[in-house]
Structure 1
Amino acid sequence: MVATSNAPPQLARHVVMIVGSRGTSCTGAAIARDLVLTAAHCVQPGADYKLVSFDAARQPKLLDVATIARHPGFAMAALNGHRATADIALLKPAAPLPATFVPARLAPPTTAAVGDAFTVVGMGLAVQGDGRSGGTARAATLVATGRPGSLQLRLHDPATRGEAAGAGACTGDSGAPVFVETGNGPAVAGVVSWSTGPKLAAGCGGLTGVTPLTSYRAWVVDTAHRMGARLAAP
């Protein structure tokens, strides 16, 4: 996450790092003691995935994943074109997550407007191309731009508006939770699907593309129930 500071503990405790056998790295959100929400493109068929837990000394421990459920409406071709698609998946670990992780609440279905603020929390790179800066939860407060809809949100740093390098998602932040403030505190309103550099160039620090949960929340809730997970209270 290209951001100025680490995520506050009350948000960092929700995020989980996901690594794949093909050298991939993504972010997810614990939404139950035994369930992680992420992006579908982060957990593609043909690869194995692990969750990462860090101890007090920042030493990583790999946690096995028992089951992966991808939304049946996900289309990689649409995602590659920065078009809306059901980029949502759930991972059920083989054992409950360590107590250091706290399940996040799902936000109720909402309609975003230009200028609405969201907080993105990811475990990705702080600087594009710096492979050593991942693995730390960082937060960025971004605002909606363009034509916000129920199938896709485009967020940017209000200070740079996507025209110059600013805060935003970067490599390893795919699947990261996007929080919105509710009457009961922050809740997950979507997941990160893609990012650009300034002026729509490749890279980070421009736009952050988000798949909102609004259209897929029922699938998440129903699938969690089928997987035997108990979601955090709304």
Structure 2
Amino acid sequence: MRALSVLVLAVLAFMAGPAQAVVLGTPSRDPNGLRRSVVWVENSAGELCSGAVVGPDLVLTAAHCVTDRATYRVVAANRTFKPQRFRVTVIAMHPSFVRGTTPRTQPGVDLALLKVDRPFGPDYLALDPRQAGSVGLGSSVVIAGFGVLSERQRRTARTLREASLISLGPVQVANRVLIIADRARLAETAGAGACRGDSGGPILTANGGVYRLFGIVSWSSGALRPRDLSACGGLTAVTPVAEHIDWINASIRMLSAPNGAWARR
């Protein structure tokens, strides 16, 4: 654990930033695959993040993705991978989240729940946060998001990609996060991981084609020995869902209330 903390701090000292597509990820083309549960979140200022469907009209994402004074929408891919747009009507941000901080210096919890203007419909599959569990050291996880392939390839965003990473265990930086990385590279050199546009996207465990939501991407770093300066291809920091399930469940109940017992943002 101490060695991991030293590695994390060394990488952060070099380069780290919000995970704003999955580097070295494989495009997801299965209409019955992750496109049913993974969306992107964009705003009127041009910012892009990813998110996970967790209810008929609800998306879980990173809080730092929804701090701009802007209008927001969620975009989901239908069975033919054409974009379907939904207007965000309510944003519930974790009460400990501190605005004005970067994701890696965030002392609070980097989570937000979004309600959209209508149900996603039967073409989509909500992930149940209550089924989230722990991930052991060295365990395999799946990252999925709509970000770029590299920071120099901005036009590669808005394609769903996924990759397999491994858990390097939890670490306390400003808040508590789980660190995941490319199994072969372990952040020494650039490998698979989150990049620009992947913040808020899901980290999942997979068993026989069944996915369970484990966490939400918060930030990513460059590798220790990169060829180019980058905030991608090194470590990916994840906010574990199970550790904040009480707030998630309470927020889901609040935003699902039929009498509209919630405040608009």
The TM-score normalised by the length of structure 1 is 0.87
Secondary structure of 1:190's counterpart equals strand
Tell me the equivalent position of 1:73.
96
Query: Which deviates more from structure 2 when the two are superposed, residues 182-191 or residues 5-14?
Result: 182-191
Tell me the equivalent position of 1:173.
198
Secondary structure of 1:216's counterpart equals helix
In the TM superposition, 1:29-108 aligns within 5 A as 29-54=52-77, 59-76=82-99, 79-82=102-105, 85-106=108-129, 108=131
CA distance in 2 between counterparts of 1:171 and 1:37 reads 18
Is 2:60–2:200's contact at 8 Å kept on the other side of the alignment?
A: yes
Please state how far the C-alpha of 1:12 moved relative to its aligned partner.
2.4
Tell me the equivalent position of 1:192.
217
Tell me the equivalent position of 1:207.
235
CA RMSD of aligned residues (A): 2.6
User: Deviation digits for residues 63-109 of structure 1, max 9, x if unmatched?
Assistant: 21111100001124664435563111111001111443221122545
| Structure 1 portions without partners, runs of 5+ | none
Q: Which is richer in helix?
A: 2
Query: Which deviates more from structure 2 when the two are superposed, residues 30-39 or residues 139-148?
Result: 139-148
Please state how far the C-alpha of 1:55 moved relative to its aligned partner.
5.2
Secondary structure of 1:155's counterpart equals strand
Tell me the equivalent position of 2:4.
none
CA distance in 1 between counterparts of 2:130 and 2:208 reads 10
Question: Relative to structure 1, is the Cα distance of residues 46 and 83 closer, same or farther in structure 2, using a 3 angstrom cutoff?
Answer: closer
Is 1:16–1:53's contact at 8 Å kept on the other side of the alignment?
A: yes
CA distance in 2 between counterparts of 1:40 and 1:204 reads 20
Tell me the equivalent position of 1:7.
28
Is 2:97–2:106's contact at 8 Å kept on the other side of the alignment?
A: no
Please state how far the C-alpha of 1:188 moved relative to its aligned partner.
0.6
Does residue 216 of structure 1 match 2:244? yes
CA distance in 2 between counterparts of 1:215 and 1:75 reads 18
- 1:18 pairs with one of 30, 41, 45: 41
CA distance in 2 between counterparts of 1:97 and 1:229 reads 17
In the TM superposition, 1:105-120 aligns within 5 A as 105-106=128-129, 108=131, 110-120=133-143
Number of residues paired by the alignment?
A: 230
Is 2:97–2:108's contact at 8 Å kept on the other side of the alignment?
A: yes
Is 1:7–1:139's contact at 8 Å kept on the other side of the alignment?
A: yes
CA distance in 2 between counterparts of 1:174 and 1:215 reads 18
| Structure 2 portions without partners, runs of 5+ | 1-21, 259-265
Is 1:73–1:86's contact at 8 Å kept on the other side of the alignment?
A: yes
Does residue 151 of structure 1 match 2:176? yes
Is 1:113–1:148's contact at 8 Å kept on the other side of the alignment?
A: no
Please state how far the C-alpha of 1:131 moved relative to its aligned partner.
1.3
